[in-house]
Amino acid sequence: MRVLKLKLFQETACYKKPFAFKTWETHPLPPYSTVIGMLHSILNAEEYISMSISVQGNYESKFTNFQSIYFYKPKEITKMPLNIHLLYNVNLIIHVRAENEILEEIVFGIKNLNEHLSLGRKEDLVRIDEVKFVEVKEIDIDELDDGRKIECPIYIPIEQLPEDVWGISYRLNWKYKVINGLRQWEKINVKYVESGEIISYDNFLQDEEGDLIYFNTPL
Amino acid sequence: MIYAKSEPVEGLKEHTDRLIRNYENLKKLYSDKLNNEIMWKLLLIAVKYHDVGKVYSPFQNVIRKKIGLQLLSEPISYDIPHNYLSPAFIPYNKLNINKDEMKILIQSIGYHHERDKEIDIDKIKEIIDKDLKKSIKVLKTELDIEIADKIGTKYVSKLIKRIKTDDNFYYLYVLVKGLLHRIDHSSSAHQDVEVDRHKNVGEYTLRYMKSKKFSLRDLQKFALKNKDRNLIIIASTGIGKTESALLWIDNDKAFFTLPLRVSINALFDRVRKDIGYSYVGLLHSSSLDYLDESGYENWEEIYEQSKMLSSKLNFSTIDQVLKFPFKYRGYEKIYATMAYSKVVIDEIQAYKPSIAAVILKGLEMIYKIGGKFMIMTATLPTIYIDYLRNRGIIQEKDLVIREFLSSKIRHKISVKEKAIYEDIDEIIEKGKNSKVIVIVNTVDRAIEIYDYICRRKGKLQKIYLLHSMFIQEHRAKLEDEIKDFAKDKNLKGIWITTQLVEASIDVDFDYLFTELSTLDSLFQRLGRCYRKREYDMNEPNVYIYTKDVKGIGSIYDKDIFELSYKKIKKYNMKKLTEKDKVKMVEELYSRESLQSTEFVKEFEKALTFLDNIDDYDINSKEAQKILRDIQSVTVVPREIYDNIQDLINQFKNEKNRDKKREIRRKIMRKTVSIPIYKAKGKVTKVNIKGLEYIGILERKYEFDEKKICGKGILIEQELANIL
């Protein structure tokens, strides 16, 4: 199987958690909806295009910024200072699986961008370090005497979570439908699994460069 | 050769075979009670592989060094316990077990020694790659078990997160791990894991009763008929409770618990000598002493067996068997044994509410793992029954509460509105022509009364004092003396004691003078007077003093004391029936009456603590300490210590381990346990290796060995509040 692999870098990022109003807390990695949103903007898509993605990455540290935020009130726009949690020096690896045509369009789109890309807040710019096609294969766990150590923090949908692997639960936005003018999100339950955990009893997907892959939707 | 033990030297194969034989033994004897195929399957695998990790070169070298063999080269020398390495060698894919069973197996083996050492997977990987892989070949030739061809660290992921109470295969895990502990410990001591399976204590008891021409009483018939059920029996003293329990135990393995060591010793003797059932073990902290002193020839064997829990019938204090609710590291050993055992709890009312909470929690756990229990008691606080009911342990079909009350009237009481020391003359008068027992609430009060009486005794034949502040040796003498005194019809005199005698010592006096305590304790004291006789006088035989009473608020709960006083007052100059007593205690300990008292608070606090205990948080010693609840120190009074210098020197110079142990036991006979707060500032340390835990108490001690009489330790005014 051939998929598209993107390596991205952000100096700062805040992948805001829904309902974090008083303080803007951030997810440790961008939720699927955020990444999907960026890909759709690259594609200039008017409607949802079917694809699955795998998200992993790490960051150097976390800090907070005290910053003025603008709000809508019924009749006016107001502002007040809030604490924003920010990740610093974020490296991301995104795998995208879709119809070959779509993947080619994404590559084309990236090469011909009209505007800079961002993930999370508009001001958190994305630097694209690498775009390439990679081969994916399934690894038979029985071939490995010591299992497979997870090197890079990754979202794993709970249905695919390997035995005895521990992670922090998140309920991530994936895609939405507009019902009565409101966005109704489809959610995916995942574990954010940090590096050091070991896959011992389950087969897994890996690309030709040795990076793990856990797609957000079934193959 | 791969070694497993150095003392005595034993090869890995030999040791493993020993375990396998003990496994077969256990399975043969108790698979009818533990009818669980997968458990036996996993246990056998655990037994076979538990020590394979000992092949690790640094471990082998520890033994080789001890026995003077050339050392092996160590490719790597990390200090990783063998039990963390053993699971690497198991050929999992050939065992036909599922993932949960695999986890049970890996953890049972991985934690068959409980250690604080963290599991470092990177070090384990290095050890496997550089050391263990090389020994696969030699393991295959030396052992009869199949060793995995390819080994790696995958199992470690199943080792790290420990199985706890809320896992759904928890009970299977407890059985496998606990029984592995049992089998390993007894095999290491070269003992059988279970003995005397077919010696039926019920049959012995029936035979004994027949020989004595005793017919079965109601209670005994009832116990016999309900052998397969959990029972709560409320019955007054002297109605054959012990025999009932033995008949109920029948042919099962059992643990018989009592609050006090003395009463356990007494019961142990009775079952062994009177009933003639010698398949009994004794489990309490000074049991070794007792067996030795009582002249049982094979004491060491009995002790070892008991220690390994292998005896068919074990007599025990609760701190030895019922500490598993604390879920300390290694608790599975006793808990798993409970799955095929019966447990008898005698005199549950004698425990403080916090201890009762531990017991009830323990019974709940026993119920859940498949064991059976019987509670025998004179009185049972309603809140305890409520607990069992609310937790679903009592169900109509498997638990019966029955009151067996004697209709015999044994007491007429007088409730005095004064302090006990105001009636010294009356006590002395009675003591001249009959047997009188005085029971007070504290040691200092006992000494006080003793002094008063000694000063005015006149023609009094005998006067004795018994409390807990005598060294072991003297206390044992006093306990024998009081029994002999009670038996001898011609002796008259006075014994002054504390609640020490409440449940423990089977004696019968003519008159009881006592300070009021709580009703349950009071009625126990009543049992020392007219124990089995019917009341036949006009004047009261029991005098209860209610003013200036010691120990209230410390030994006895203040609220419960006040309530007790209100209730007992109504019976002044009246005869007391068994029904009256049970009813009074029932009311006293009902939820309504106890509402917002310290008693209930303590009980509930303890329960909350036990319900929320995190598995493996505390170790066994700490659990035992909480259960004993008394922070005590072992001391030798200065005078005694100075007199045993020969013994101390012998101990210092003795090289032989067994002899040294024997001398230490002799020294222990000269000690007494006292609460830490009492000892503070009065104790000098003994700076001798092996005796560090003993202190010298810098206070006076008084005892006349010829007259078997004295005051014991004299801590002066500070003597209050010690039993």
The mean predicted confidence, pLDDT, of chain B is: 87
- Residue B319 near residue B286 (C-beta atoms within 8 A): no
pLDDT beyond 50 at A146: yes
Chain B interface disruption, residue of A144, A145, A165, A198, most B CBs within 10 A: A145
Minimal Cα distance from A147: which residue of B?
B154
pLDDT beyond 60 at B294: no
pTM: 0.81
pLDDT beyond 90 at B659: no
Chain A interface disruption, residue of B157, B158, B162, B163, most A CBs within 10 A: B157
Work out the pLDDT band at B287, boundaries 50, 70, 90.
low
Question: Is the Cβ pair A201, B99 closer than 8 Å?
Answer: yes
pLDDT beyond 50 at B350: yes
Query: Which of residues A124 and B348 earns the better pLDDT score?
Result: A124
Average confidence (pLDDT) over B19-34: 96
**A42-83 per-position pLDDT tens digit:** 999 999 999 999 999 999 999 999 988 888 888 888 888 999
**B557-603 per-position pLDDT tens digit:** 888 899 999 999 999 999 998 888 888 988 888 878 888 788 888 88
Lowest-confidence segment of A115-124, B458-467, B622-631 by average pLDDT? B622-631
Question: Is the Cβ pair A165, B157 closer than 8 Å?
Answer: yes
Average confidence (pLDDT) over B377-382: 78
- ipTM of the complex model: 0.82
pLDDT beyond 90 at B520: no
Average confidence (pLDDT) over B521-550: 91
State the virtual CA torsion across A146, A148, A149, A155 in degrees, nearest 10. -150
- The helix or strand, by DSSP H or E, that contains position A212, with its residue range, turns out to be strand A212-213
Q: How far apart, in whole angstroms, are the C-alpha atoms of residue A86 and residue A147?
A: 34
Query: Which of A147, A165, A166 has its CB closest to that of B154?
Result: A147
The predicted structure's pLDDT at residue A185: 92
**B54-109 per-position pLDDT tens digit:** 999 999 999 999 999 999 999 999 999 999 999 999 999 999 999 999 999 999 99
Residue B566, exposed/middle/buried by CB under 10 A (0-12, 13-18, 19+)? Answer: exposed
Average confidence (pLDDT) over B153-158: 94
The predicted structure's pLDDT at residue B537: 87
Cα→Cα distances A112→A106, B194, B518, B631, Å: 10, 81, 91, 79
Average confidence (pLDDT) over B382-392: 87
Work out the pLDDT band at B719, boundaries 50, 70, 90.
very low
Question: Is the Cβ pair A201, B152 closer than 8 Å?
Answer: no
DSSP structure class, residue A19: T
Identify which of B197-211, B258-272, B475-489 has the greatest average pLDDT.
B197-211
- Chain A residue numbers with beta carbons less than 8 Å from the beta carbon of B154 are 144-147, 198, 200-201
pLDDT beyond 60 at B512: yes
Work out the pLDDT band at A189, boundaries 50, 70, 90.
very high
Name the nearest CA neighbour of B638 among B679, B595, B586: B679
Query: Which of A142, A145, A164 has its CB closest to that of B157?
Result: A164
The predicted structure's pLDDT at residue B721: 43
Please measure the distance between the N-terminal and C-terminal CA atoms of chain B and give it in whole angstroms: 57
The mean predicted confidence, pLDDT, of chain A is: 94
Percentage of the residues of chain B whose pLDDT score is greater than 70: 91
- Chain B residue numbers with beta carbons less than 8 Å from the beta carbon of A142 are 93
- Chain A residue numbers with beta carbons less than 8 Å from the beta carbon of B125 are 146
Question: Is the Cβ pair A200, B154 closer than 8 Å?
Answer: yes
pLDDT beyond 70 at B14: yes
Question: Is the Cβ pair A200, B155 closer than 8 Å?
Answer: yes
Query: Which of residues A177 and A30 earns the better pLDDT score?
Result: A30
The predicted structure's pLDDT at residue B171: 97
Amino acid identity of residue B550, one-letter, is: K
pLDDT beyond 60 at B298: no
Lowest-confidence segment of B208-212, B400-404, B433-437 by average pLDDT? B400-404
Residue B167: other Cβ atoms inside 10 A = 16
pLDDT beyond 70 at B286: no
CA distance A165 to chain B (A): 8
Query: Which of residues A178 and B201 earns the better pLDDT score?
Result: B201
pLDDT beyond 50 at B717: no
Average confidence (pLDDT) over B121-126: 95
CA distance A58 to chain B (A): 22
Question: Is the Cβ pair B153, A144 closer than 8 Å?
Answer: no
- The helix or strand, by DSSP H or E, that contains position B333, with its residue range, turns out to be helix B332-338
- The helix or strand, by DSSP H or E, that contains position A60, with its residue range, turns out to be strand A52-72
**B609-633 per-position pLDDT tens digit:** 889 888 887 766 666 666 655 456 7
pLDDT beyond 50 at B720: no
Q: How far apart, in whole angstroms, are the C-alpha atoms of residue A11 and residue A89?
A: 4
